[in-house]
Chain A
Amino acid sequence: MNSSLTVWERLLTLSQVLADTPMLAIAMTILAFFAANRVYIAIGRPVWLPPVVPAAAILAGMIALLGLDPDSYREGANWLMLLLGPATVALGVPLYQNIHHIRAMLWPIVLTLPIAASLAVLYTLVIAWALGASPTVMASLAPKSVTAAIALGIGDIIGSSVPMLMAALLITGVFTTLCVEVATRLLKITDERVIGFALGLNGHAIGTVRAFEISSTAGAFSSLGMSLTGLFTALLLPVLFNL
C-alpha cells in the first residue's frame, strides 16, 4: 500500500486492495446469500421470483457499490465455486435415495430425454436462425440447457463465445423456473417427479436448486434430468454442428 497517500485516500482505495485476496469476494458472496434469504422471506417467497435472482442482484449491487472490477470479484469467488464440483457429486445421494421412483418411471424418462433435450436445442436454434443470428451466436445459444462445466466444454468444440454462452445458460436457468411455475398451473401438472425432471432438463443447476425447494424427490429427478441432458447434449451438439 502506498504510504505517500493520506489516510482518507488509502481508505478509498481499500476495496480495490482487499479485492486482491479472495476473502473479500467470499465474504461478500456469503453476506449477500444471507441478506437475500431475509429479503426473500420478507417479500413472502413469491413463486415467480427464483431466490437466486435477488441473491445475485444483491451481490451485483455490492460489487457495483464497492466499485470492484467484476472480473477481480469473479477471480476471488472462484475459490468458493470450487465447491461446485463436490456439490454436484453430492446430488448422487438424493438420486440414490429416490432410485425406486426413478426405476418406476424408467421408460417414460428414457423416451422423454432424447426428444426433449434435442428440442430444447432446436427450438432456440430455429428461432435464432429466423431472426438472423450469426453462427457464433447460434453456437453460444445451443448448449443453453446444459450445466456450466459441461456447456463450456461443448462451447470449446462448437466455437461458442464464452460470455454469451454463460449469459444464455443463466437466462435459461432462471426463465426455466418461471416457465415451469406457469406451465404446471396452466397444464394442471402436480407430479413432483415430472416437475423436477423438467426443471433439471431445461434449467440445469438453477432449475435443480428450485426443485430442491419443492421436495427431495423433485430435486432427485431434477439432478437426473440435469445429468442426462448434459451427457446427451455433449454427444449431440458436436455432431449437429459438424453437419
Chain B
Amino acid sequence: MRVTSVIHFKDGRAPLMSILRGFLILVLFFLLGESLRLVFLVPVSGGILGLMMLTLYLMVTGGVSKPVASASQALISVLILLIMPGLTEIFFISGKFTGQWLAVSVSLLVGTFLSVVTTLVLLNVLARKLPSGSNNHE
C-alpha cells in the first residue's frame, strides 16, 4: 500500500496547477455526491456521499495521485477557516430562546460529556478485547 502523508508535504509547497487539478477532482466527487443525494433522495449531504465515493474510488484504484493529495492537504489545512463563519453565530444568537436556555445548556453539556466518555471507553475496551478486526494478516 502506498502511503503518502497529506499533512506533511515533502517539498513544502505544491504547485498551483497541481492543486487546481486535484481541486477539480474533489469538486467532481462533490457533484457526484450531490447527484446521488438528489436522485435517490438520501438524507445525507453531498459532501459526505462524495467523501465515501472518493474513499471507495481510492480503494479500488489503490493510490492517491499527487494533485488530489495536494488539493486535499490544502483544503484540510484551512478547515477552521470554513467553520469560523458559522461559529460566530453563537455570539449573536443569545436572547432568542429565553426560558429554554437552562434545559438547552445543561442537556448539551452533560449529554456531550457522557457520550464522549461512553465512546472513549467502549471503543477502547472493544479495541483491546477484539485485537484484530480483520482475520487476515495484520
Question: A residues bordering B, Cβ < 8 Å?
Answer: 25, 29-30, 32-33, 51-53, 55-57, 59-60, 63-64, 70, 73-74, 77-78, 80-81, 83-97, 99-100, 103-109, 111-112, 115-116, 119-120, 123-125, 127-128, 131-134, 137, 141, 144-145, 147-150, 153-154, 157, 161, 163-164, 166-168, 170-172, 174-176, 179-180, 183-184, 187, 189, 191, 193-195, 197-198, 201-202, 205-206, 208-209, 212, 215-216, 219, 223, 227, 230-231, 234-235, 238
Interface SS of B by simple majority: helix
Q: Give Cα distance in the complex from A34 to B43, angstroms.
A: 35
Residues of A within 8 A of B30 (CB): 85-86, 88-89
Residues of A within 8 A of B64 (CB): 93, 96-97
Q: Give Cα distance in the complex from A53 to B81, angstroms.
A: 12
Q: Give Cα distance in the complex from A127 to B106, angstroms.
A: 8
- A147-B48, A179-B113, A179-B116 in contact; A194/B4 too (CB < 8 A)? no
**Shortest Cβ distance from B107 into chain A, in angstroms?**
4
- A77-B85, A89-B54, A108-B133 in contact; A231/B108 too (CB < 8 A)? no
B17 within 8 A of A: no
Residue-wise, chain B 15-42 has the 8 Å CB interface mask toward A (1 for contact) of 0000000010011011001100000000
Given A85-B30, A93-B64, A93-B72, list of 16 further CB < 8 A pairs? A88-B30, A89-B51, A90-B71, A93-B73, A96-B58, A97-B3, A125-B111, A131-B107, A147-B45, A164-B96, A171-B90, A176-B112, A197-B123, A206-B83, A215-B7, A219-B7
- A33-B80, A97-B5 in contact; A92/B47 too (CB < 8 A)? no
Residue-wise, chain B 102-138 has the 8 Å CB interface mask toward A (1 for contact) of 1111111111111111111111101101101110001
Residues of B within 8 A of A119 (CB): 114-115, 118
The contact of A112 among B48, B79, B119, by CB within 8 Å, is B119
Q: Give Cα distance in the complex from A208 to B93, angstroms.
A: 24
User: Does A227 lie within 8 Å of B123, measured CB to CB?
Assistant: no
9 contacts between A and B (CB under 8 A): A64-B91, A84-B82, A89-B47, A96-B54, A99-B1, A99-B59, A145-B112, A179-B116, A187-B124
User: Does B6 lie within 8 Å of A216, measured CB to CB?
Assistant: yes
The contact of A97 among B6, B90, B119, by CB within 8 Å, is B6
Residues of A within 8 A of B105 (CB): 171
Residues of A within 8 A of B81 (CB): 29-30, 33, 80
The contact of A137 among B26, B47, B53, B104, by CB within 8 Å, is B104
B86 within 8 A of A: yes
Q: Give Cα distance in the complex from A57 to B88, angstroms.
A: 7
